[in-house]
Every structure is written in C-alpha cells, then in structure tokens.
Amino acid sequence: MTRTRRFLTMLATAALLLTALATPTQAISSLKAAAAPAKHCVIVVGKAPPGQPSPIRSSACSADYATAQREAGATATVLLMEWFWNANNSPPNLTHIHGDYGDCDSAGYRIIVKDDWANNISGFNSYSHCNVVTGFNWPSTVDWSGDEQTWSNYSVCSCLLQGWVGSFMNDRIEAFWIRRG
C-alpha cells in the first residue's frame, strides 16, 4: 500500500509540475504573439499650410499593408512615401505615407517624423511626382532649419528610390519636405 501511495503522489506531483511549467510557457507565447510589432503602418497626411507641417489625418498599423491601408482610410489617397527602418528595407519594416490632397506639386507635403521612426530612418522611396525630398534633422515649424540633405530624381519615373540616405542623415531624420521638382 505504501508503494502505491508513493507512486500516486509522484504521479500527481509530476502532473502538477508539468501543468505549472506549461502554463507560463503558453502565457509567454501568447504575450509574444500579442506584442509582435506590426510590419506595415500607414499614415495619411493632408496638404500643409505654408511653412507648417502637413496635418496627420489618420494612421493604422497591421501585419500587412492592405489591412493597414484600409484601417487608416487610405484607399482613396495616393502613396507618397515608404520609410525604411534599415537600408534597402532589409529586414522589412515599413511605414507608408499617403496624401489625401493628391500627387506632389511644387509646395508638396511637409511631414514630421514621429514616434519610433524619428531618428531611425535609413532609407525611403517617394512616389506620385514627389521627386525632390529634403530630410531635416531638427525641423523648426517656422523655418524648417537644421541639418538637412536633399535628394532628387528628374528621370521619367516621377519617383525617388533612396535605399540608403547616406552616412550624414542615417538615423537622423525628423522631418521630410517632399515635392515635385
């Protein structure tokens, strides 16, 4: 009888131990899945008043671009930019900037880079006739001063594909002025 009791006690202890070990692992896995960063964010901006930043109309993040675009209400807007966390978007982590005013003109859009993206952009692409882009390290909303660099492309694509911003502005961009040149 003592052997049977000991065996049952050991069996119950093992079952409790397995349950205790499995529960935290499952909880941690669930937390990791819930805390996994979104791969695609969409920000919709409006036309900037003279010398001021473009107002942010909406934003959303999701695991895929189509869902983020839909949730941000960006389906009737134009894609202006894609920001890359790493040069040449490797590994992929994108924010897509959409304009609700249409393609770039000579006044363009003035976009303040916020949250985790500030001082973390290593590359970008611009579209919709936004072929001149100036990145600023310290934008003043009055005169948009500070360290800056301008990239341009006057080819037929009406875009600018800047996989890496270069060593001077890498991880230093806090604002963009995008426009048609």
Residue 31 domain boundaries:
1-36
Q: Using the Cα atoms of residue 83, residue 84, residue 88 and residue 89 in order, give the sign of their dihedral.
A: negative
89-99 pLDDT, tens digit per residue, is 887 778 999 99
Do 70 and 103 belong together in one domain? yes
What does each C-alpha distance from 147 to 99, 119, 135, 170 come to in angstroms? 25, 13, 8, 12
Do 48 and 118 belong together in one domain? yes
**Where residue 74 sits, what CATH number does that domain have?**
2.60.20.10
8-49 pLDDT, tens digit per residue, is 444 444 443 334 334 333 333 333 334 455 589 999 999 988
Do 23 and 58 belong together in one domain? no
Do 31 and 57 belong together in one domain? no
pTM for the full predicted model: 0.76
Q: How far apart are the first and last CA of the chain?
A: 92
**Phi, psi angle pair for 158, to nearest 5°:** 55, 35
Do 16 and 44 belong together in one domain? no
Q: Which residue has the tokens 């936004």?
A: 130
Do 16 and 51 belong together in one domain? no
The three-class DSSP label of residue 39 is coil
Q: Using the Cα atoms of residue 150, residue 156, residue 66 and residue 56 in order, give the sign of their dihedral.
A: positive
As for how many domains the chain has, the answer is 2
Do 96 and 50 belong together in one domain? yes
96-117 pLDDT, tens digit per residue, is 999 999 999 999 999 999 888 9
Do 20 and 77 belong together in one domain? no
